[in-house]
């Protein structure tokens, strides 16, 4: 990649220090002879990403998810600056980005290609997600979902819902629901039930070439479908809902050269590795 000429900044103004940081980054961009555009709305309109060389998201992982649809459509690399706690995806601190931004403007970027899910409903879609597609009950009542993998019946879940996640999304809702942590480079997707009625129902890891079809055995009014936490297909979704890893679309996430997935896991999940043993007193 050559010198960057057009950079889009997407800023979450509710984060303390976000606007000041973007002003500094915009100034550096313009001093380098490049164009700087600042947007404060997300999810981001798709056309806003057209012709950009880089998108810099200032906020956190939630803000970054708001640019997935547009960025993956136009294949624009995304760099996330986290203004809160350590993020899984927004992996640059304000200090890091100020130290390295001039170098990035020369086109020296390291990014990972992350899988993107594609979700369709009869007559609707596709909608894309970086983390997950979640189909769940609107109330506390259990729902019944019949899941097919290709043409084969995989399982019928009597549960609060199911999560279909990418490796990137394995550390999001999937993890909270008891699903496995998957390395971002693994070519798989995970189907995880949410509070299943049958305790033997567990997460299933599938090859990313498979197509999942979810049939609802019940009333559509009781169910919602969400992509990366954002409700899609309206209040009356149509079934079956089909989910797959998009065979061509990816999300280009810029990461520091020193980035370590395991370091982030240890720090984000507070793994200490130190077991404390006590001696019982008789």
Any idea which residues carry the catalytic annotation? 61
Question: Which residues contact residue 80 at a Cβ distance below 8 angstroms, ignoring those fewer than 6 apart?
Answer: 57, 59, 60, 61, 63, 64, 87, 89, 90, 91, 92, 253, 254
Cis peptide before 126 (omega within 30 of 0): yes
Identify the CA nearest to 105 among candidates 211, 11, 1: 1
CB 46 within 8 A of CB 68: no
CA distance 81 to 86: 10
| Rounded (5°) CA angle 212-215-216 | 140
Pairing of strands 188-194, 161-165: antiparallel
CA distance 131 to 176: 13
């Amino acid at each position: 990649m050559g010198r960057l000429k057009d950079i889009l900044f997407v800023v979450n103004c509710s984060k303390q220090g976000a606007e000041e940081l973007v002003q500094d980054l915009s100034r550096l961009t313009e001093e380098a002879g490049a164009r700087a555009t600042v947007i404060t709305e997300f999810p981001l309109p798709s056309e806003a990403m057209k012709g950009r060389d880089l998108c810099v998201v200032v906020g956190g992982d939630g803000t970054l998810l708001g640019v997935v649809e547009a960025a993956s459509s136009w294949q624009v690399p995304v760099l996330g600056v986290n203004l809160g706690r350590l993020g899984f995806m927004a992996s640059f601190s304000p200090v890091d980005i100020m130290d390295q931004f001039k170098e990035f403007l020369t086109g020296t970027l390291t990014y990972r290609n992350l899988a993107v899910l594609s979700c369709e409903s009869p007559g609707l879609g596709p909608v894309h997600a970086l983390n997950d597609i979640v189909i769940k009950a609107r109330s506390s009542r259990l729902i019944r979902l019949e899941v097919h993998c290709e043409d084969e019946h995989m399982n019928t879940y009597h549960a609060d819902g199911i999560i279909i996640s990418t490796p990137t999304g394995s550390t999001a809702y999937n993890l909270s629901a008891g699903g496995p942590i998957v390395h971002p480079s693994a070519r798989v997707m995970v189907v995880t039930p949410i509070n299943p009625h049958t305790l033997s129902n567990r997460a299933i890891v599938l090859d990313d070439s498979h197509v999942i079809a979810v049939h609802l055995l019940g009333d559509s009014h009781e169910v919602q479908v969400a992509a990366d936490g954002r409700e899609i297909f309206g209040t009356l979704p149509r079934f079956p809902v089909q989910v797959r890893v998009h065979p061509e679309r990816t999300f280009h996430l810029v990461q520091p050269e020193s980035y370590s997935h395991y370091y982030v896991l240890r720090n984000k999940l507070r793994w200490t590795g130190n077991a404390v043993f006590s001696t019982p007193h008789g």
